[in-house]
Amino acid sequence: MSTGIPNNRLRLLERAKRALPALTPALESLLAGIVGLLVGALIMWIGGYDPWKAYVALFRGAYRDMYGFASSLARGTPLILTALTFSICMRAGMFNIGAEGQVYGGALAAVTVGYFALPSGLHIIMGLIFAMLAGAAWSLVPALLKLTRGVHEVISTIMFNWIARFFAFYLVANVLVDPIRAEKTISVPASARLPILVHGTDLSYGLFVSVFFALVIYFLLWHTTAGYELRAAGLNPTAAHYGGINSKRTVLLSFILGGLGAGLAGATIVMGLPPTYAVYSGLPQLANVGFDGMAVAMVGRNHPIGILIAALFFGGMNAGGRMMQIIAGVPLEMVRVVEGIIVVALAIPELVRLFRFFRNRWRSLWRREPA
């Protein structure tokens, strides 16, 4: 079939294409971040605010001194884990957005351990284990619905997020309620709290827990047979099937691993963030941690190492955003708009890749449909 382009010109175009290598993911993210910053600056300028002063305040508040840097790390710690929840399933070819509900389950499970009297080190370990098991248990039902009834994971995980939210409301108000302060659960006892890493800040040893889990996931996905099968099933389900890979096992494994991470995120929040060490009615410290993790995963290109860097950036925007209000006089609403623009810009390269991936996957499935 003729393209209408002379052969010599086609050869020149192919030669030029080979001479210009594709952008690396890091460079793509860098360029996308610059675009996001420029668009955010334009919006602030239109609104009558000084974008240079605002951005200087943002980055100084997030990374200039130890307090700001520690605050950025503290706010990014749970996002590492919820981003991994989304990323693991995405690597397996599924769109799991159930981390939000699994975070609620993990946090309340960690609070429940406070009813037991245990030695300090053992108490912390039991709190983390209970939280991980609660997150995995909450992720197991959507996985089984997909495997046994064909229910799409987007539908089931959205439903289970809402079920978890209202179930958490009930537990906070009626079961785990503090007898002295009815607006919150009982506090996690001192023996079950993660030690503070930097004195005078809210950064705890939960950072090490998150980083360790990310490294474990990296090793599992890229250096084990089970991880290879999981990624292969996500890249090409048909080839994986003919290669003898059990797709049901990879689905179940991805959901369980993701649930473990999300439950652990809930534990790092209630066991590692002073001064309350409890869950409040309305779930203010837990809300949107799971959804924010999806954005972190996109910016980190669904890779555990990239997620560690992206979580630090997200934590920095959260910690430094208040300095934009104090120093540059930018209102909170404008700060959130600018942050959202930067996040969307950073996520676009991965979103484009995922769109192409699922488009090609759906096309291949349609071609196999009988006439």
**How high does pLDDT run on average in the chain?**
87
Confidence grade of residue 339 (pLDDT, cut at 50, 70, 90): confident
Residue 39: name the closest of 323, 345, 336 by CA: 345
CA neighbours within 13 Å on the CB side: how many for 208?
7
> Is the pLDDT reported for residue 120 higher than 90?
no
Residues 6 or more apart whose Cβ sits within 8 Å of residue 274: 196, 202
Q: Is 180 helix (H, G, I), strand (E, B) or coil?
A: coil
Fold assignment, 25-352: ABC transporter involved in vitamin B12 uptake, BtuC (1.10.3470)
d(C-alpha 333, C-alpha 338), whole Å: 9
Confidence grade of residue 237 (pLDDT, cut at 50, 70, 90): confident
Q: Is 276 helix (H, G, I), strand (E, B) or coil?
A: coil
Q: Name the DSSP class of 186.
A: P
| Range 101-130 average pLDDT | 92
Residues 250-293: tens digit of each pLDDT: 999 999 999 999 999 999 999 998 877 999 998 999 999 999 99
Instruction: Give pLDDT, residue 165.
Output: 96
Residue 311: name the closest of 62, 106, 135 by CA: 62
The pair of three-digit structure tokens given for residue 193, joined into one six-digit string = 């709290």
Instruction: Give pLDDT, residue 32.
Output: 82
Containing 335, the helix (H) or strand (E) segment is helix 332-367
pTM metric for this prediction: 0.87
Q: Say if residue 275 is preceded by a cis peptide, omega within 30 of 0.
A: yes
Tell me the residue ranges of DSSP E strands in the chain: none
